[in-house]
Amino acid sequence: MEKLMDEQCEDNCIGTEPGSDNLSKARVDEQTAVELAELFKALGDPTRVKMIYALLEQELCVHDLCVVLDMAQSAVSHQLRYLRNVRIVKRRKAGKTVYYSLDDDHVKEIFTQTLQHLHHS
């Protein structure tokens, strides 16, 4: 009960002044919220996290990812397709071999910042 009381405004709180831009700046549009949620959903799976970690420093072919993750090619391909759909990874074909890498530096930054946050004490 004590914690619930700490999260409420005081009885005499009048909130933010009407017409203030402060509250409109605090609101994210629906499409952006959905896209952000999809990105974090993608990062919410341990297998996909392992894939992203493996791709942090270098591009890898599907076979190499199968070896690193100790997974079947069909399972790796399924996860890579998901990660491509949310623009976390991209692919490059060289002959019959398909190489995967992180889509851009933003993905690497998000991932490494999150790792640093986890290891911060």
Of the given ranges (20-34, 40-54, 55-69, 105-119), which has the lowest mean pLDDT? 20-34
The closest alpha carbon to 99, from 65, 62, 71, 48, belongs to 62
pLDDT of residue 25: 78
Q: What is the pTM of this model?
A: 0.78
- Separation CA 52–CA 104 (nearest Å): 12
Average pLDDT of the segment spanning 90-98: 95
Question: Residue 23 corresponds to which tokens in the numbers above?
Answer: 């509250």
Average pLDDT of the segment spanning 98-104: 96
Q: Is pLDDT above 90 for 87?
A: yes
The string of DSSP codes covering the chain is: -HHHHHTS--TT---SPTT-HHHHHTPPPHHHHHHHHHHHHHTTSHHHHHHHHHTSSS-EEHHHHHHHHT--HHHHHHHHHHHHHTTSEEEEEETTEEEEEESSHHHHHHHHHHHHHHH--
**Mind listing the pLDDT tens digit for each residue in 1-39?**
455 556 776 666 666 666 666 777 788 999 999 999 999
Q: Is pLDDT above 80 for 90?
A: yes
Residues 6 or more apart in contact with residue 15 via CB below 8 angstroms: 9
